[in-house]
Amino acid sequence: MKTITTLSTSLALGLVLTLTGCGGGSDTTSPNTVTIKGKAIDPYLHGAKVCLDTNTNKVCDVNEPYTTTNKMGDYALKITKEHHDAHHTLLVSGGTDIATNEAFTGILTAVKEAHKTVHNITPLTTAVEARYQYCQDHHTKCHETVAEIESGLATYVGLTKSEVNADIVVLANNHKENALKVALAIHNIAIIQHPKKPYASYQKAAQDGYIAGHTWKDDVQASIPASYALVTKIMNIDENILDAAENAYQMLHPTVTTRRTKAEQIAQYVHGLVHK
């Protein structure tokens, strides 16, 4: 069975799934530091910077602790015990997606929970962090804990709470592809809606809250067929079918210009081919 590390670049182009990565540095050992670990996944991001965004400005500033991910997306970040004892934001930026060998141009985030030493950083954790930060900034409108937000998001997009924080690539390679499908769909929609600053899409969804009836869920569901094709390719589907889908789409829809319409039509067309 193929793993995600063998995915070809042409697949990402055919599906308009701009998947990307991150970069960073290292810290010295100190009795007053704690090391937190995890993976940066969209899928795995190589050379990505992972920092503790202590001022929540969604930028890795020069005075904030940072590190870089290895070729499998792993990071190990040393932070002070003071920071370890509080909630902060983990932020991923830059680097390369090892599945497509394309640069990652957005950001991914996660809530670094107090006293917790393992944090994966994915589109799913980004959705949680965006809602958590919204609640911190709007106490009169939202009092949800991280656990409550995770449960709400999981229910909203049809996952379990454990899948929200999991290594979603490992799940996919063990035939539990749904979390990876949803995560790719979420980030795809973010890129379509806000090409220059995809995180804005997460922020907009977070304002509404992850409850039934809001359009963000519909957008994500519309993008899942393309994500299904991507994950299915990871699981060893012939890539020629996906190249054919892109070529056929260009022939059938030469006048389509809006990115959102194009992405959705590709998704529908590829979904039909894969299920023939």
pLDDT digits (tens, 9 = 90+) for 134-157: 999 998 888 899 999 999 999 888
Beta-sheet strands, E only, within 223-274: none
Q: How many secondary structure helices (H) and strands (E) does the chain include?
A: 11, 9
Q: What secondary structure letter does DSSP report for 216?
A: H
At position 248, the amino acid (one-letter code) is A
Can you give the pLDDT at residue 101?
A: 84
d(CA 241, CA 173): 21
Who's near 198: CB < 8 A, 6+ residues apart?
106, 107, 187, 190, 191
Write the pLDDT tens digit of every residue in 229-253.
Answer: 555 554 443 444 445 555 555 555 5
Q: Can you tell me which residue has the tokens 């529908």?
A: 268
Backbone angles phi, psi at 116, to 5 degrees: -95, 130
Give the 3-state secondary structure percentages of the chain, helix then strand then coil, rounded to 5.
45, 15, 40
Can you give the pLDDT at residue 31?
A: 75
Helix (H, G, I), strand (E, B) or coil at 79: strand
Can you give the pLDDT at residue 214?
A: 62
Q: Which residues, given as ranges, of the chain have pLDDT below 70?
A: 1-30, 212-215, 223-276
Who's near 23: CB < 8 A, 6+ residues apart?
47, 48, 49, 68, 69, 93, 94, 95
The interaxial angle of helices 240-252 and 215-234, nearest 10 deg, is: 130
d(CA 118, CA 71): 18
Q: What does the chain come to in residues?
A: 276
105 forms beta bridges with none
Specify the DSSP element, H or E, that contains 271. helix 259-274
